[in-house]
Amino acid sequence: MQYTSAANALLVLAIAPFLAAILSLLLLRERIDKVTALAIALVFAGVLIIASGSLGQGRLLGDGFALMNALTIAAYYVTLRTTGTRNMLPHLALGSILGGLLAVPFADFEPVGTTQALLIFLSGAVILPGAAGLLMLGPRYLPAPEVSMITLLEVIIGPLLVWAEGLILVYPTWWYSQPAILKGWMDRVWRPGIAFTLHDEGQRLRPALSNIRLIGVITSFGSPWWFWTFLMGAPGRKIILRGLRFCTNRRTRTFWLGLHAIDDQTDASRKRYIEKVRARIAQIPL
């Protein structure tokens, strides 16, 4: 960022999905379909719109660093695509430790209070490793260009959260919670400065998305209702209706529409659930 503008760096970084598509074609013989190509183009266009206000303020050296970053990200996801189901989390831990050791000579080590130390620990030991781990799992199930494209959505969806009045999430529940890609989006988008702020006095969290007044979830489960609710404690529901809701308006209304034991449902019960969803969505004021 010392050698180019934030807008230039953001725009150059947005070509990572294109680079991932080229590397996937050359190294893995994987082609992307037309829908994915269109989605990548739309994401690039969204980043271009966001960065257009200050383009051209960078310098060639800084743009080159940004291009190297984009190429590294693309190569990272393509490499993960080749590992299959192999557990790469130990490699992530080792890489993080080595990266931290390399960064030690450049750290200032300014004194911090107890609350700040706990927040630093939470960010470094829980949030960032969790997000990085989920992103490592993504290429197992999606081509590298799609994973790279989804990571760029935070650039576009972050500002949209500030304008939105409601948030409707539709997803299948995996392992009693949100899928890896959706959880990674939460970790990368619902962050300080967007979803919440830290008050100077005592570093207390304060909601920052007071514009959001409705949160709704439409999801499906493989497990029965009683198992997910009583034995597992409904973790996915708590993450959204307690955790995310805290960052919104204190009067935010919520709804949760879940279809449990989906493999045992009949066509009639599925149709009833779909009609229930339609009726609830129709109640949302436009």
CATH number of the domain that residue 270 is part of: 3.40.50.360
Predicted confidence (pLDDT) at residue 265 exceeds the cutoff of 90: yes
103-126 per-position pLDDT tens digit: 788 777 777 677 767 777 777 777
Q: Per mean pLDDT, which range of 45-49, 111-115, 237-241, 248-252 is the poorest?
A: 45-49
Alpha-carbon distances of 244 from 67, 205, 210, rounded to whole Å: 34, 13, 12
**What is the pLDDT averaged over residues 241-269?**
94
pLDDT number for residue 8: 65
Q: For residue 72, what is the enclosing H or E element?
A: helix 60-81
The answer to whether residue 217 sits within a structural domain is yes
The answer to whether residue 118 sits within a structural domain is no
The answer to whether residue 69 sits within a structural domain is no
The answer to whether residue 7 sits within a structural domain is no
The answer to whether residue 193 sits within a structural domain is yes
**What is the pLDDT averaged over residues 260-266?**
94
Beta bridge partners of residue 199, listed in sequence order: none
Tokens of 174: 């995996």
Q: Would the pTM of this model clear 0.85, i.e. be above it?
A: no
Q: When comparing pLDDT for 186 and 111, which is higher?
A: 186
Predicted confidence (pLDDT) at residue 258 exceeds the cutoff of 60: yes
Residue 46 CB neighbour total at 10 angstroms: 18
Tokens of 102: 């390399």
pLDDT number for residue 120: 73
Chain centre to alpha carbon of residue 245:
17
Residue 272: give the domain boundaries: 164-286
The answer to whether residue 186 sits within a structural domain is yes
Q: Are strands 205-207 and 196-198 parallel, antiparallel or unpaired?
A: antiparallel
Q: Is 241 left (phi over 0), alpha (psi -120 to 50) or beta?
A: alpha
Catalogue the E-assigned strands of 147-202: 166-172, 196-198
CA pair distance 51, 63, nearest whole angstrom: 14
CA pair distance 273, 199, nearest whole angstrom: 43
pLDDT number for residue 268: 95
The answer to whether residue 189 sits within a structural domain is yes
CA pair distance 115, 31, nearest whole angstrom: 49
The CA dihedral of 119, 124, 130, 136, to the nearest 10 degrees, is: 160
The answer to whether residue 18 sits within a structural domain is no
Domains contained in the chain, number: 1
CA pair distance 113, 105, nearest whole angstrom: 22
pLDDT number for residue 139: 80
If we measure between CA atoms, which residue out of 138, 173, 175, 165 comes closest to residue 153?
138
Predicted confidence (pLDDT) at residue 285 exceeds the cutoff of 60: yes
Beta bridge partners of residue 171, listed in sequence order: 219
pLDDT number for residue 254: 96
Going by pLDDT thresholds of 50, 70 and 90, the confidence category of residue 183 is confident
With 0-12 CB in 10 A as exposed, 13-18 as middle and 19+ as buried, what is 187?
A: buried
124-181 per-position pLDDT tens digit: 777 777 777 777 777 878 787 778 777 776 666 666 666 788 999 999 999 899 988 7
Going by pLDDT thresholds of 50, 70 and 90, the confidence category of residue 2 is low
Residues 6 or more apart whose CB falls under 8 angstroms from that of 285 comprise: none
Angle CA(182)–CA(120)–CA(195) in degrees, nearest 5? 40
CA pair distance 135, 120, nearest whole angstrom: 21
